[in-house]
Amino acid sequence: MSRERPIEHLRTILRRIDGRGYKAYKEIQGVYQAPNFRLYIDHVQGDPFAAPSRLRAFVPHAVAQFPPDLYANPIRRVALADYINRVFANVARRLEQRLGSGKSGLIAIDRPGQEVLPRTAVIVRDEGIEARFFVGLPAAGRRILGHKAEILLLQNVPLIVRRAMLFASLTEEKLRRHVETVEDAEALRAMLPQLGLVAFVADGAILPRRSGVDPRPLREGLVIPFESPPELRVTVELPNRGKITGMGIPRGITLIVGGGYHGKSTLLNALELGVYNHIPGDGREFVVTDPRGVKIRAEDGRRVEKVNISPFINNLPFGRDTTQFSTEDASGSTSQAANIMEALEAGTTLLFVDEDTAATNFMIRDHRMQELVAKEKEPITPFVDKVGQLYEELGVSTILVMGGSGDYFDVAHRVIMMDEYRPYDVTERAKAIAEKYRTERKPEGGDHFGEVTPRIPLPHSLDPSKGKREVKITARGVKTILFGRHEIDLSAVEQLVDPSQLNAIGQALYYARERYMDGQRTLREILDAVEQDILTHGLDVIDVRPMGDYAYFRRFELAAALNRLRTLQVKQKRSTE
């Protein structure tokens, strides 16, 4: 680490290099002490059109003066950091101005969305608060504009620090509401197991979003606040808000039914994103689910590497083996089977499935089709015949949107009908219908679910190099990671919500390869180790550089990225080993 210098020394350097070639900006790298904070200039861009420079501001708690109760436990620290992050982003956006060519004048920080995620953009430490942000150093063409850099670094940055990182500058009521809401949601999620629930939806929640590309709550038009059916209403007491009521979804198999456009998929979407905490005013603050819940869908064209899909697909023509099934171009049903088995391998305890994004022939095979096509000629065992075994043998619950097949009435533990965005418990009615109109279809699931076979990733199959760079990993939005020369398509992984999650996942793949992939550890053991490292040391553990654009990801999305790396090679670990 460079020795610390007074902030005025930075002014001296900027005046000296004014008008010189852009690479002279490298001289400002280092640490500077300002009146209220310490400024770290970690990385200086080599060109005004390149990725902006990386800076950090550190404010000691003695200066920031936040009441200690606001960061008294880990979840409060995350919530406080998130609030500061949002204020920092807003102030920086108002101050940003174009000061030359390329990215000159940019001041930006990783901007959170509706979810409250642990991030590296702002970190509340024992010693103080650190913000990591990006600056576009000013230039005319490729000549340094030192006087404008002075405005940027010696006026605007200190102003942002004062307005965002000092307690006296913030509205205490809003800050406390933010911290307490997040803490309450975390506490509510932790209560689910003891309540025998996999999900909770608070009365009064606003579930619809503005659009498919705007995740903010719908406010205009007819918006129906959520109201639990009396049969499923649960009352819980939260640390800050006190008692709230809402719909509790018990463990087991839950169907969400109803007509089109009545809110089935909207409810499921809220539930699948209930693995994350949300900001006050989001409408889904108290929609929480089992944090190990995974959304499953069909994914035509994805690669599958030695996955045991035999619980769902067996007896392929020409004797093709499905206990270690591989393909470069999976069908809808095959990909959905692989997605379930991979989620089980990673440790899921709850599956979310929407018939709209599922393979029809994977979900159901009715009596008439059974009569026409004998079971020995049909390799696919439909999900309806396995979902009960998943729960009974493996303890894995399922929440399933199903509007097109009543055959699931026979296996469901409860049935919730959405009618004009209002939920009704119709379990008894659905069971009576199932009894009255028997399907006559024959169960095809066999006596047991089948084996979830562990796999061992082989480290040489993960190559992050590109050209002269040994490690080149970048993310594109929430759909793609470029891992060296290879593209990881995550467009079907629907619980990813933030580009910074993909930044972190890409780096975590490399971290896992370097630290834990030894040709002996199973995928689950590797996920356990990475997860524990991040829990213990924070997201900084995955990178030697102090990066400001990493956000929390779950083990399931890390596994999903690894499984979709088209160069991945694994070997199976058999039960005899």
Is the residue at 362 inside a domain? yes
Residues 493 and 381 in one domain: no
Whole-number pLDDT of residue 368: 87
pLDDT at 555: 98
Choosing from 106, 137, 170, the residue where a domain stops is: 170
CATH number, domain of 412, equals: 3.40.50
Sign of the CA dihedral running 250, 309, 326, 364:
negative
Along the 577 residues of the chain, how does pLDDT read in single tens digits? 568 999 999 999 999 999 999 999 999 999 999 999 999 999 999 999 999 999 999 999 999 999 999 999 999 999 999 999 999 999 999 998 878 788 889 999 999 999 999 999 999 999 999 999 999 999 999 999 999 999 999 999 999 999 999 999 999 999 999 999 999 999 999 999 999 999 999 999 999 999 988 999 998 778 999 999 999 999 999 999 999 999 999 999 999 999 998 999 999 999 999 999 999 999 999 999 999 999 999 999 999 999 999 999 998 876 788 999 999 999 999 999 999 999 999 999 999 999 999 999 999 998 888 889 988 888 999 999 999 999 999 999 999 999 888 999 999 999 999 999 999 999 999 999 999 998 888 989 899 999 999 999 999 999 999 998 999 999 999 999 999 999 999 999 999 999 999 999 999 999 999 999 999 999 999 999 999 999 999 999 999 999 999 999 999 999 999 999 999 999 998 765 5
Which of 170, 201, 221 is where one domain is finished?
Answer: 170
Return the H-helix or E-strand segment holding 236: strand 233-238
Asked whether residue 21 falls in the same domain as residue 159, the answer is: yes
474 and 509 assigned to the same domain: yes
What Cα–Cα distance (Å) separates residue 411 from each residue in 289, 300, 386, 443?
A: 22, 27, 10, 11
Say if residue 56 is in the same domain as residue 183. Answer: no
203: its two tokens: 């009365």
The verdict on 144 and 28 lying in the same domain is yes
Q: Are residues 209 and 135 part of one domain?
A: no
Q: Which of 220, 166, 186, 224 is nearest to 73 (CA)?
A: 186
When computed from its CA atoms, the radius of gyration of the chain, rounded to whole angstroms, is: 26
Give domain status of residue 77, yes or no.
yes
Q: What's the CA gap between 271 and 267, in Å, rounded?
A: 6
Judgement on whether residues 376 and 436 belong to the same structural domain of the protein: yes
Query: What range defines the domain where residue 98 resides?
Result: 4-170
Q: What is the pLDDT of residue 2?
A: 65
Kindly state whether residues 313 and 189 are assigned to the same domain: yes
Would you state the pLDDT for residue 243?
Answer: 98
Residues 371 and 339 in one domain: yes
Q: What pLDDT, on a 0 to 100 scale, did the predictor assign at position 577?
A: 54
Burial class (CB in 10 A: 0-12, 13-18, 19+), 105: buried
Which pLDDT belongs to residue 576?
57
Does the residue 180 lie in any domain?
yes
The CA-based angle 563-567-572, given to 5 degrees, is 60
Question: Looking at the structure, do residues 438 and 486 belong to the same domain, yes or no?
Answer: no
Residue 169 identity = S
Share in percent of the chain as helix, strand, coil (round to 5): 40, 25, 40
Q: Which residue type, as a one-letter code, is found at position 460?
A: H
Closest listed residue to residue 413, CA positions, set 387, 433, 436, 385: 387
Residues 24 and 157 occupy one common structural domain: yes
Q: Is residue 577 part of a domain?
A: no
* 38 Cβ contact partners less than 8 Å away, ≥ 6 residues apart: 4, 31, 32, 57, 58, 59
Helices (H) and strands (E) in the chain, counts: 15, 30
DSSP state of 152: I
Domains of the chain: total? 3
Q: Which of 104, 135, 170 is the last residue of a domain?
A: 170
Predicted TM-score of the model (pTM): 0.96
